[in-house]
Structure 1
């Protein structure tokens, strides 16, 4: 027992010592570009990144998927970067780069040896100021997106789960449509549509630039001003998305997937968006239910009762609404209805009682560990700084978000489960193998 206590104390001390505060400086250029600088001279590496406040939800009916298309399109080339040379330039200087798009934002980044900081800033300023957008590039990237859709969604086992969930949870808000968009919308898009989208969203006052790593602050500020200062400010973006009506009675549906043999049960709830305290509490509830083999759902359904091959509870964060999802795969003759019943039993236990003090302490340790790991690399810090500023409207969360998790009580977990995770507020989807037609 004494050894266990010492081990626990040592682990807690280690987390405290490792979770060092991330220093940063932030300011705005005259054109509205928000800039965040983080200096860490411990290794000769620098990350340059730009996050645009544009994602899958930023579209009009009949023109879905534009943000994801632009994720690809803005690598095509610029006035000063030849078509197809972007990745070659980065790799030839010892760097790596990538981009990704969600329903709420698009993120581009480069990681370079620090003597190539100026190159990274120039390339991102080129992407913002001088992109070449023509019919050839649009046609090329439309085909790339179609192939990605076929690979990740159409021909991948369980690849349609998120699109099916979105349509079940949302009727009005653009979250109802897939981030990748509908192919008929991309096919119907004109070059004028695409150019107008770029002019509206890919502007400095709709973006944050993060430079993190082995930098000199004064010199970096000068380069930022030189490369990004002359970029014209765009029109102010006004967003007004429709609100969803509350789900007040259980919704049941079925979906079919030609790529699977084992059916799946999906139980989902519409929850609050990023930054709300309730969303943080739901993170803890999902970890309690399914994070690791000792979690309640895994131990019960997979280990003890042998009813599920796999089970997981996920709080998928988004800016306007979140999605709380419990996914499970049955074993043998276990029915999907049985899985739903067993899962509800565990959720009901959270709604009606307090989790044990021991389980609560395990959760706190998990979130401490996550917090430390999220800030363990320059690349991770850059992404966190951009995200906290853009989607949470509070850059300082990079240092104090863990305090929110620490302050969540067991009683609060019970109250939030009772508020959002009731049977009359859920969508239940039987996700089934598509039966092959007989000849």
Structure 2
């Protein structure tokens, strides 16, 4: 090996070693119940300030869907001390960027600033929690914003409603049956008082986790956090008691139509346990085994060899109470959806009845090692992982030890979990079709 190659290899090794280092953090609670997690990394002069609220699409009553996603937008409107419409201007003019996102289980807000603006980031998030202005003008404005988002991302987007079709067929009782974005008629019908009540219930310190990650001074950061967040009153304890689903014991076959597509798709879906369950980790590995990359079982067979599918994939969609495991495929030419379903079931059947090879098992372990390292490679990712691990998994230390769960999963366990959840009698098969044209 020449010297140049030797140096490059050494640098690569050092880089990998650094990226894989344990994430150090401190965590504590304020008296009002706000959980705080601090991660110090002084290698670059940037800091991420993030707040995760334990409220998502599932936290609603019947006929009032979509509130959590709506609040993702509404809480950027303004506060008692931030003029309406000025939030993004304040962030960008101080060298920062920000965003937010909502799932069925949580809502996440974050800012990334130069580290000398940490105090500003903390003040803005405390303002969002303590002093949001919720009035009819803001509600009306964001109602139109959400409607436009729904039109762009779902109503007028090819295959945009696939997950809606899956969830409404997998769930009949649990709130996961309804889309995270909600139904527009529910938002239209809601009163201003209902929105205010929703804010007072869920956007409180004892239902939130604050993470500060990056170039910080710990003692100073703690003081600012105390100054800005400790005066916020604690909310009433939130009790969740969502209905349990009956097991699926007979295969379900249905059709859905999408006016935005020309090529149909097949979706085979299974209801699975919530993401804290060990079996959910195993299902992650099964989906990677089946469809991650051109050498995966489904892709190689259906796209490369048999040329049946334009695209095929397996997804394990983790959620807090129940997961959704789905396999989808788009046909080539005259290939029927039933033919795709047969090919998919053949590979899933093998996973249920046969140990995967040692070579495939080693490749899986390598992929999950790589994902684990990459997830902690920057402060934004670390902040998100810390908040998620504490709030949704109940274990902040997963940021350093989650890989041990994947390492401990055996080939036999992969087969057993596939056999437990991915059976023909437990599945929903959806023919996702171009919308039928009316007869002339």
Range of TM-score over shorter length? over 0.9
Structure 1 residue 403 and structure 2 residue 404: aligned?
yes
Aligned mates of 2:12, 2:304 — CA distance in 1:
28
Question: Per-residue displacement from partner, 1:16-58 (whole Å, max 9, x unpaired)?
Answer: 5531100000000000000000000000000000000000000
Structure 1 residue 107 and structure 2 residue 108: aligned?
yes
Question: Per-residue displacement from partner, 1:265-288 (whole Å, max 9, x unpaired)?
Answer: 000000011111100000000000
The SS at the match of 2:235 is coil
Q: Which residue of 2 aligns with 1:285?
A: 286
8 Å Cα contact 2:51-2:208 kept in structure 1? yes
TM-score by length of 2: 0.97
After TM superposition, the runs of 4+ consecutive aligned structure 1 residues lying more than 6 A away are: 10-14
Q: Please list every run of 5 or more consecutive structure 1 residues that lacks an aligned counterpart in the other structure.
A: 1-5
Aligned mates of 1:31, 1:116 — CA distance in 2:
25
The SS at the match of 1:223 is helix
8 Å Cα contact 2:19-2:374 kept in structure 1? no
The SS at the match of 1:117 is helix
Structure 1 residue 74 and structure 2 residue 75: aligned?
yes
Aligned mates of 2:208, 2:164 — CA distance in 1:
27
Taking a change above 3 Å as real, the CA distance of residues 218 and 14 of structure 1, as seen in their structure-2 partners, is closer
8 Å Cα contact 2:386-2:399 kept in structure 1? yes
Structure 1 residue 245 and structure 2 residue 246: aligned?
yes
How many matched pairs?
A: 434
8 Å Cα contact 2:279-2:417 kept in structure 1? yes
Q: Which residue of 1 aligns with 2:386?
A: 385
Aligned mates of 2:221, 2:16 — CA distance in 1:
32
Taking a change above 3 Å as real, the CA distance of residues 114 and 12 of structure 1, as seen in their structure-2 partners, is closer
Aligned mates of 2:211, 2:14 — CA distance in 1:
31
Q: How does 1:134-173 map to 2 (within 5 A)?
A: 134-173=135-174
Q: Which residue of 1 aligns with 2:47?
A: 46
8 Å Cα contact 1:15-1:369 kept in structure 2? no
Q: How far is 1:147 from its partner?
A: 0.3
8 Å Cα contact 1:171-1:244 kept in structure 2? yes
Structure 1 residue 375 and structure 2 residue 367: aligned?
no
8 Å Cα contact 2:19-2:376 kept in structure 1? no
The SS at the match of 1:392 is coil
Aligned mates of 1:17, 1:247 — CA distance in 2:
46
Structure 1 residue 394 and structure 2 residue 408: aligned?
no
Q: How far is 1:74 from its partner?
A: 0.1
TM-score by length of 1: 0.97
Q: Which residue of 1 aligns with 2:341?
A: 340
Aligned mates of 2:327, 2:253 — CA distance in 1:
14
Aligned mates of 2:103, 2:51 — CA distance in 1:
14
8 Å Cα contact 1:15-1:368 kept in structure 2? no
Q: Which residue of 1 aligns with 2:355?
A: 354
Question: Per-residue displacement from partner, 1:388-429 (whole Å, max 9, x unpaired)?
Answer: 011100000000000100110000000000100010000000
Question: Per-residue displacement from partner, 1:358-396 (whole Å, max 9, x unpaired)?
Answer: 000000000000001000010000000000011100000
Aligned mates of 1:83, 1:260 — CA distance in 2:
40
Aligned mates of 1:139, 1:257 — CA distance in 2:
29
Q: Please list every run of 5 or more consecutive structure 2 residues that lacks an aligned counterpart in the other structure.
A: 1-5
Aligned mates of 2:303, 2:398 — CA distance in 1:
36
Taking a change above 3 Å as real, the CA distance of residues 239 and 42 of structure 1, as seen in their structure-2 partners, is same
8 Å Cα contact 1:173-1:244 kept in structure 2? yes
Q: How far is 1:435 from its partner?
A: 1.7
Q: Which residue of 2 aligns with 1:366?
A: 367
Q: How far is 1:14 from its partner?
A: 7.0
Aligned mates of 1:353, 1:436 — CA distance in 2:
45
8 Å Cα contact 1:122-1:227 kept in structure 2? yes
Aligned mates of 2:378, 2:312 — CA distance in 1:
31
Q: Which residue of 2 aligns with 1:273?
A: 274
The SS at the match of 2:245 is coil
The SS at the match of 2:392 is helix
Aligned mates of 1:214, 1:48 — CA distance in 2:
11
Taking a change above 3 Å as real, the CA distance of residues 13 and 416 of structure 1, as seen in their structure-2 partners, is farther
Taking a change above 3 Å as real, the CA distance of residues 101 and 119 of structure 1, as seen in their structure-2 partners, is same
Q: Which residue of 2 aligns with 1:429?
A: 430
Q: How does 1:313-324 map to 2 (within 5 A)?
A: 313-324=314-325
Q: How far is 1:15 from its partner?
A: 4.8
